[in-house]
Every structure is written in C-alpha cells, then in structure tokens.
Structure 1
Amino acid sequence: MGVQEPLLRIEHVGKEYFGNRVLSDVSFSLNAGEVMGFVGENGAGKSTLMNILFGMPVIQQTGGFEGKILLEGEEVHFASPFDALDAGIGMVHQEFSLIPGFSAAENILLNRESTKYNLLVEVFDQRLKTLDRPVMKARAEKAISTLGVEIDSDTLCTEMPVGHKQFTEIAREIDRTKTRLLVLDEPTAVLTESEAQILIAALRKLASQGIAIIFISHRLQEIIDLCDKIVVLRDGHVIQEARTCETNVRQIANWMVGRKMEEGAAHEVASRSFGEPVLEVENLWVDMPGETVRDVSFQVRKGEIFGFGGLAGQGKLGIANGIMGLYPAGGHAALRGQKVVLNAPQKSLEMGMAFVSEDRRGVGLLLEEGIDWNIVFTAMQIQEKFIKKLAGGLVKWRDDSAIEACAKEYIQALEIRCTGPQQRAIELSGGNQQKVCLAKAFAVRPEVLFVSEPTRGIDVGAKKLVLDTLRRYNEEYGTTIVMTSSELEELRAICDRIAIVDEGRISGTLPATAPAEEFGLLMMGQVDVDAERVKACE
C-alpha cells in the first residue's frame, strides 16, 4: 500500500518585495484532516505566505513568487482568491470582510445564495430567480450550529458583538461544499476565552471530517491544545517543524525569538548607571485605533534607553502617541515631577519631549518641503531656534545660514543620501526619510525622546546606522530614549530594559540581557517567566 499524498505541499517558496526578501525556501506539507499551527513574530512572513497560498492580487502585482504549491500532488497556480476558493481553500483574514447591513445568513451565503424559480425566468432568463430565504436560513443555521455557538441568522452584522462577527466569517467558509483546506489568521484574537474554547472544539470537529486546517495564532497554548503539528517561521525561513505533543510553550517561544544576536550587537548594560526617574506614567489609557492602551504604568530613569515590545495590535504604539497628544488619552504622566498635560502636543514639546512617529510620511515629515526645513521646523516653532531678532523680538526673520549649517551637520552625521539640504523629503528613500525624522527630533535637543519603529521598512545597513545614532545621542547628550519596536532583537541590542505590552497592558519588564524566550513568553501572554527578575526591573 503506497504512502498517501499530502493534501497540501509547499515546496521551496520564496518572495521578494522591491528587493526586500520576506520569504526564503519555505517548504512543508499538510495532510487531510490535520491541523497545523503556524507561528512566528510579526514580520516573519506568515501573512505573505498565506497571501501566496490564497492567490491574493498583491502577489502577482509585485512579481509573483518562487517555488511551487501542490494540492494532492498537482501543482496549482491561483490568479485570484476565486481560483483558490474553487480549489477548496477557504481563508478567514484578521480583518473582517462582512457587509454591515446584511444579516448573518446573507453574509454567510454571499455569492452562493439559494434561489427558486418564478415565471419571470421564462422571459428574462436565470438572472431573475428569487432568493429562497427559508433554504438560505437553514443552510446558515447548519453552518453556525457546526461551530457550536448561538447566533440568530437574521441578526444584522452591525448589531453583532465582535466575537459573533468572527464566528460568522468562519461559518461562511464552512458552508462552502468544496472546502478541504481552511486557513484561519489569528481567529481567536477578538474572542473571549470561553469563545476561543468553543472555536477550538469546532475546529477539531471539522478536522475529524477530513478538512485540513492552518491555524495562525500568537496564543501558544491554543496551538498546543488544538494542533497536530507546528511550523515556526522566522525572518522568512522555516526554523522548526515539530509535533505539538513533543514540545511546549517555552520551547516554541524560544524557536520564535531565540536567534543569536549579531556579533557586536549586544548592548552592555552592566556598567551603565542612571539618575532618578525622569518620566513617570500611571494608569495610562489611549484610544488609538488598532493599538488601544488600557492601563499602563512605568518609570524611565534619566539617561536610560527604555524599550516597548510586543505583537502587532497589542497597544505598544499607542503609548508614545498618547503621551505626545496624537490620540485621546487619560491617566497620569509626569516629567521631572511636573504634570504632563495629555491631549496637547505642543505642551509636550514645550516641556522637553520629542517624538519620532512610526508614520513618518503621515506625521513625521513635510513631504513637499526640503530636508533643511524638515529638520529645523519643530525647533524653530517651539524653541525659536534659527531665528534672528531685532528690537527685543519685535522683528524676526529666519537665520538661513544657521538652518543650512544645521541641515548639513545632520546630513553628514546620519549619512542622509541626498542631492543637498534643499532636496524635497518626498524624493528620498524610506531609510533616508527616517533619518530626517531623527534629525528633526535631535535638533530640539529633547530631554526625553520617544521613537516608534525607527527602522521599519529600511535596509540592514540603514538600520544599524539609525540604532548606532540613537545610542550615540543617548551617551553623548544624556538623552533619555523610549523606543518602541516590533523587532525584539533590535530592542535587545540598544535598550537597558524592555517592557512587553500585551492586550493593552504591560505583561512584564525585563533587562535586555534576559533570555529571548522569556520575552517571547511575555509576548504570548504567558507569565511563567522569572518573577524575581521581572520584579527587580519594575
């Protein structure tokens, strides 16, 4: 008797976006009725691989991909998601794709509605068939009951709680008669613990019927509870493939984040000493869409480099945005013991804080202006630097020579590749735009500098230069830096302490020298790390 052909085989798949390699030689297989956990840090390449598998247009629009996808031994080429659906692949994305004004039944059966004959068909052909609503209701309720939840099929999507919307999305894929492979991207992220358990039970039931499942989640205990095997992706490579019965949460976390730091990248913190707390935050909440902060408290000491890490959407980006007044915030913050007025960006700047936003094009830069104007604008506006005055300030004008000198200094120091200080910011590469954002912050000589995702979207060489520059300004000028990044190793290379944010709260704070797997556990919502080490860091 021959070996059964796997339902899905991914062979040597690779993908580049505009010269940036995000997947390299990825291979694995999945059998019918098998549940595979697919895990990795943000940016590991999980979403790109699923986009390839599901035939998403962005893949073809950016040059296609390398390697092969085989279903039951036959190579497939999906030009669109419709081809993937026809082949029996269903996918539930992180973002809901429901129509708000439609009922649960209408969303579940969209484009696959049950219809019935009427006399108009004889004149106007099949397009004038009418909806067979009783049959549609029965089909929708069958799909919902398979999930083991109670949802009224007539309920409008706009009236549903978030959890019910997620179950409706999944029910839509279950109703497809052809479905033989189901991909779920973070399906439990919006579910309560009890709802997540209901979903896991439903997925086991589907798997027993022969449907293969790829389950993407950062909740590692769910991976252990549900999946038969696990594939770990890191920096676009498959790092590990293992049976879940032969591993545990700590081991998986170590595979995800436990790479060795590059030689010379480790940041020696033992000899560093710091002053009194310069920034104190208590019970901070921030209403930033997609990055909600619920209750965060921390202290940063003078001269320290303090890091915020965690998975996407958990709230780490909201902290700096809230303190600097870009999104509605509440709670208490103090700089040098003085109250920070929240929801007032100018007052935060006047107190001696600066912010390099993760959104450099939307918030950080005046894209149509020159590099020189971008660098000096905030310092000129808030501190009246680069301005000449006469008659006690009654007459003011720009000091163009000082502006040019400042711009040239930062262009040289940060190695900004440009034609000169007057070149428009919009004409620069992403990495050079990021350097201009840093130069703008350095020009105000802040006491506390918030930096969010300082190396997002830039090449390795530029990343090193940006991190080295932050460290140099911290050491030479005593600038206290609060850095937020999705890359744990980046934080470990430069920070003294790192706080991990999970579900809008700090799950733990550790020294940068702590083992990578301990940070990984905190990211996954696990708290069984060294309690004494965490306590000592807070």
Structure 2
Amino acid sequence: MESNTAPLLEMRGIKKDFFGNQVLTDINFTLKAGEVLGLAGENGAGKSTLMKILFGMDVIRETGGYGGDVLINGEKVTFNTPFDALEAGIGMVHQEFSLIPGFTATENILLNREPQKKNVISEVFGPRLNTLDYKKMKTKAAEAIDKMGVEIDQNMVISDMPVGHKQFTEIARELSKDQLKLLILDEPTAVLTEKEAAALLESIRGMASRGIAVIFITHRLQEVLNVCDKVVIMRDGKVVKDTPASETSVDEITKCMVGRSVDLSAVREIRDCSDARTIMSIRKLWVDMPGEIVRNVNLDVKEGEILGIGGLAGQGKLGIPNGVMGLYEAGGTVEFDGKPIPLNNPRKCLDAQLAFVSEDRRGVGLLLDETLEWNVAFPAMQIQNKFLKKYGPITWRDTKAIHDVTQKYIDELKIKCTSSKQKARELSGGNQQKVCLAKAFALQPRFLFVSEPTRGIDVGAKALVLDALKKFNRENGVTVVMISSELEELRTTCDRIAIVSGGRIVGILPATESSETFGALMVSQVK
C-alpha cells in the first residue's frame, strides 16, 4: 500500500488493561483526512481510554502502556506525552476545562505559543525577555475563532464567560495550531445550549471541509447522525459496529451501545401532588452565578413530588439550586417545612436536611483521591455524626458501617468499580456521577436538589440514575427537585415540570404535556 493512500489515522489491535480490568480489547478503525467520526458507547465502554492512548496521556504510560499500534499516515507512532501528539497534529478538547480562569480568551488560545517581539533588552539579554506581540496575538486568536465559525469575545476573561464560550475557547485554541490535522472532541456539547450546539456542529463540518479530521464523542446520538461521516460504536471495550452514518439510526446505535433495546418512553405513573402541602416555598429569589440569570424566581414545591426544572442554558435553571443551597450569593426568601432557610449558608441547608447533587461533579462533587467509602460516608459523618462509634469521650469511625453503606449503594446503583476501596478518580464519568448520588442518599435527606444528574453519561447509566432517583423519592418519601437540560429526561422522571426563561419561572405543567408545549415555554419571555 502506498503511503499516499494510507488513512490519516489507523488504530490497529489496541488493547489496554487498568489494575487488572481489561478495558479495551482489539480495537481497530481508520480515519481519513477531513472525515468526521462519531464515537458512541455507554460510559465505561472505553471511549475516553482509547482517546487517551491516541493523545499520549500520562495515565496510559503510568499504568503500563497499551498493546497494538497507532499509525499516522501509514507510519507507526508512539506518543509518550500529549506534546508528541500535538506535534503530530492531534488536538484534544476534554470534558473538563483546562483553561486559565484569570486570562482572556486570546491569552488562553495562544498559551505557550504566544507570538513575541524583540526589544532592546532582549537583544542584549536573550529571547526570554522578549515581549508578547499583542497585536499579532489578537489577529491569530481572531483567525482561530473565525475558523471555528462561532462568535466569542476574545477579550473576555475566562472566569466571566458562560460555560459554552469556555468550550469554544478550548476549540479555538486547538484550531490556532497550524499543524492541526485531527481534533478529538470529548463530549463537547454536554455544556452547550441547543443554539451553541448547532453552531458547534456547523463548525465541525467547516473544519472537515478544510481537511481536518474530527473524532466526536457524544451521548447525543442525533448529533452523531447529523454531523458524522461514520460511526464507531463501542461496548465493553470492543468495537461492536463501524458503519457509515447514513446507514444507521439513533435506535440502532442505542441497541448496539447497550446490547438491548432501551425504551425511555416507557409507561410511568405521574402523581398528582396538588393536594399535598407545600414543603418548600421560594420567593423573589435572585442569584449571582456566572453564566446564569436568576432574577425573580417564585416557586412552590409540594411534599413528596419530583419536580423538574427545565429551560435553555443560561436562563437560570442551574442558578436556582446553587442559590438556595448557598453556593453562590443569593437574595429573596426560602421557606422549608414552614421555617425560613437562611441564604448564603450551605451548612444551615444541610442541617435542615436538604441535600444537593451539583452539576459540577469534579469541582464540588467528589474527593477524587479518596476511596468510594470515604466519598459516600464523609458528608453524613461530618454533618450528622453518622458512621461513628462513641465510647465515653472517644469517638472513632465505624469502618464496618461505612463499608456496608457504600457497598449497598454500589449494588443498588450498579457502580462499576474494583471495590469500595477504589479511588473516585479511577471511575468513569457515569460511575462518578452515581457516587455523587450515593453520597446524597447516605445523608437520608428530606429534600434533594439534583442538578444535571445525567450530564455526560450514556443511555444505560441514565436509566439507572433516573430509576434510582424515582425509587429514592417513592420509597423514602424524599421530595426531589431535578434540574436538567434534557426535556425528555424530565418528562420520563418528574411529576411536574417548571420551565425557567430569563431568570424567572414562566410556567409549571404536568410532565404529561407535550414536548412542543414545553419547548414553546422555553423560548417564551414573560415580561
């Protein structure tokens, strides 16, 4: 085979095991220049691990490397670090941002590759004292943003940006590298509004038309079909299907991913809690949270219900739980069970038996370097003195109780792990999400806010997480307020759904209402 007909990328017989768990078995696929490949699969199917191998991530080398070959333009390559991969023209945008918050978009886009200017001092003392060529930086950053085809403010500081624009800044950073041939996008649309996601998909097609190949990992399967040339589906560390996108469908991809048919529109009972008493009453709530507007929220939650809060990104749905639970500055009044809950005081919320599963599982959700046992039991230990033994003045941890409660949730939520002593960091995203839920369940709260419970997790894990929430609500009588960007998920889980637009609640309807009705509310602006 002549090298000029060789594909841009070939992965041949790739194998990998972690701590004795086989996570990849004999993975093979090819990718041509300018081709867009959709990589689908449940969490823990091995998608991220495969990309880490391709990108030369340290974690692969530190855990004994991998088997098989990676070929670029027909030649075998070994990337020992991400820098080797970058040099070969591979860029990657991860699920978790790696931007410097205090820098502007331009500074982040050109980080460590800033164009420099010589000056009198550097002529004498050498290039380390060159100054940055800001004019050239601006132009180069603008070109990269232009290549991406999505408008972002290049002078804005990252920490002031809505989450979608951070994502675009990361993509622009990769596009600004002249040698870029292949861009890996890991869950790029999970944090985007529908409009931003559409813009991103458009820009992926644009990159492809310039000859840049793209590997696109997402759980939104319709996007795969809309933008990809071909789809590679993984299950349990193997490739189960490799097909042109035009020859498959969302249903078929789902079946291949989970090895069974998943019917998310299954019959479910909706409970009418209108006669129940109001357990939480929110009045005139405003919250100061980056990327969110919460201006004037009035909302009554009924005891024992699952209330969904939906709406487009940035309209305020994430701000509500973060404000009530005291994670961002807030004003207005919140009453729980007839008593006022002071705002801006997370401890008081926990003492009142409220719990919160945040959308930011890495930032506030988990102690990544601790065991699952410690993650699950620690809050309950700290707040409620649970899982402790007392003997006179001495208190010590009840290790058996801690182990038992963790094991209980590992079984119930089907958390994939080697044991309850495994570190949270070693789990896949979906399993980390389940640990966050277990931690909240272990508090045995009376009221649970859960924000984006299925962000970045696959169909199978989704159903499990949503079932766990329903079960927790039904069996323990816990009132649940669930915030989600996915309307269908709210419709299959909640009793009523409140829609937020422009920082206010614009309507609350039974979950049985049509998607169209909710969609219309989302884009409406109540004056």
Q: So what's the TM-score if we normalise by structure 2?
A: 0.59
- Which of 371-380 and 139-148 deviates more? 371-380
CA contact (8 A) 1:309 1:500 kept: yes
CA contact (8 A) 1:109 1:140 kept: no
SS at match of 2:443: helix
C-alpha offsets along residues 276-314 of structure 1, whole Å, 9 cap, x if unaligned?
264566897766679998998887665567799999999
- Structure 2 match to 1:87: 88
CA distance in 1: counterparts of 2:182 and 2:75, whole angstroms: 15
Q: Which amino acid aligns with 1:10?
A: M
SS at match of 1:82: helix
Q: Which amino acid aligns with 2:36?
A: V
C-alpha root-mean-square deviation of aligned residues, in Å? 6.8
In the TM superposition, residue 378 of structure 1 has moved relative to its aligned partner by 4.0
- Structure 1 match to 2:460: none
- Structure 1 match to 2:79: 78
Matches within 5 A, 1:320-359: 322-329=323-330, 334-336=335-337, 340-345=341-346, 347-349=348-350, 351=352, 353=354
- Structure 2 match to 1:97: 99
CA contact (8 A) 1:88 1:179 kept: yes
SS at match of 1:63: coil
In the TM superposition, residue 35 of structure 1 has moved relative to its aligned partner by 1.4
CA distance in 2: counterparts of 1:497 and 1:216, whole angstroms: 32
Q: Which amino acid aligns with 1:74?
A: E
- Structure 1 match to 2:213: 212
CA distance in 1: counterparts of 2:108 and 2:390, whole angstroms: 65
Q: Does 1:59 align with 2:60?
A: yes
In the TM superposition, residue 491 of structure 1 has moved relative to its aligned partner by 11
SS at match of 1:64: coil
Matches within 5 A, 1:233-248: 233=234, 238=239, 240-247=241-248
SS at match of 2:38: strand
In the TM superposition, residue 57 of structure 1 has moved relative to its aligned partner by 2.0
C-alpha offsets along residues 46-94 of structure 1, whole Å, 9 cap, x if unaligned?
4443332211223323333344322223332111111112212123445
Q: Which amino acid aligns with 1:97?
A: L
Change (3 A) 1:44 1:104: same
CA distance in 2: counterparts of 1:455 and 1:159, whole angstroms: 25
CA distance in 2: counterparts of 1:469 and 1:170, whole angstroms: 35
- Structure 2 match to 1:8: 9
CA distance in 1: counterparts of 2:347 and 2:491, whole angstroms: 31
SS at match of 1:52: helix
CA distance in 2: counterparts of 1:223 and 1:160, whole angstroms: 30
The alignment-based identity, stated in percent, is 45
Stretches of structure 2 that go unaligned for 5 or more consecutive residues are 409-419, 425-434, 456-463, 520-527
CA distance in 1: counterparts of 2:219 and 2:205, whole angstroms: 19
C-alpha offsets along residues 92-135 of structure 1, whole Å, 9 cap, x if unaligned?
445253695578389448437477899987x8888788888887
C-alpha offsets along residues 190-240 of structure 1, whole Å, 9 cap, x if unaligned?
777776666555543442343212234556555444322233456655455
Q: Which amino acid aligns with 1:226?
A: V
In the TM superposition, residue 329 of structure 1 has moved relative to its aligned partner by 4.5
SS at match of 1:245: helix
- Which of 67-76 and 36-45 deviates more? 36-45
Change (3 A) 1:341 1:240: farther
Change (3 A) 1:330 1:243: farther
CA contact (8 A) 2:355 2:443 kept: yes
CA contact (8 A) 1:54 1:81 kept: yes
CA distance in 1: counterparts of 2:482 and 2:258, whole angstroms: 19
CA distance in 2: counterparts of 1:321 and 1:258, whole angstroms: 37
Greater C-alpha Rg: 1
Q: Which amino acid aligns with 2:113?
A: N
Q: So what's the TM-score if we normalise by structure 1?
A: 0.58
SS at match of 1:230: strand
CA distance in 2: counterparts of 1:199 and 1:450, whole angstroms: 30
Q: Which amino acid aligns with 1:70?
A: L
- Structure 1 match to 2:461: none
In the TM superposition, residue 34 of structure 1 has moved relative to its aligned partner by 0.7
Stretches of structure 1 that go unaligned for 5 or more consecutive residues are 262-266, 387-397, 418-426, 457-463, 515-521, 532-538
CA distance in 1: counterparts of 2:441 and 2:231, whole angstroms: 44
Q: Does 1:36 align with 2:27?
A: no
In the TM superposition, residue 176 of structure 1 has moved relative to its aligned partner by 3.5
- Structure 2 match to 1:517: none
- Structure 1 match to 2:174: 173
- Which of 3-12 and 75-84 deviates more? 3-12
Picking from 110, 113, 122, the partner of 1:111 is 113
Q: Which amino acid aligns with 1:111?
A: R
Q: Which amino acid aligns with 2:55?
A: F
- Structure 2 match to 1:534: none
CA contact (8 A) 2:148 2:207 kept: no
Matches within 5 A, 1:57-456: 57-94=58-95, 95=97, 97=99, 104=106, 107-108=109-110, 110-111=112-113, 113=115, 143=144, 145-148=146-149, 155=155, 169-187=170-188, 200-217=201-218, 222-233=223-234, 238=239, 240-247=241-248, 259=260, 276=276, 278-279=279-280, 302=303, 322-329=323-330, 334-336=335-337, 340-345=341-346, 347-349=348-350, 351=352, 353=354, 378-379=383-384, 400=391, 410=401, 414=405, 441-442=443-444, 447-448=446-447
Q: Which amino acid aligns with 1:82?
A: F
CA contact (8 A) 2:110 2:137 kept: no
- Structure 2 match to 1:394: none
SS at match of 1:183: strand
Q: Which amino acid aligns with 1:212?
A: A
Change (3 A) 1:257 1:285: farther
CA contact (8 A) 1:372 1:407 kept: no
SS at match of 1:55: coil
Change (3 A) 1:247 1:499: farther
C-alpha offsets along residues 379-428 of structure 1, whole Å, 9 cap, x if unaligned?
579xxxx9xxxxxxxxxxx98579999969956964879xxxxxxxxx96
CA distance in 2: counterparts of 1:408 and 1:159, whole angstroms: 41
CA distance in 2: counterparts of 1:406 and 1:106, whole angstroms: 45
CA distance in 2: counterparts of 1:99 and 1:317, whole angstroms: 20
CA distance in 2: counterparts of 1:317 and 1:151, whole angstroms: 22
Q: Which amino acid aligns with 1:210?
A: G
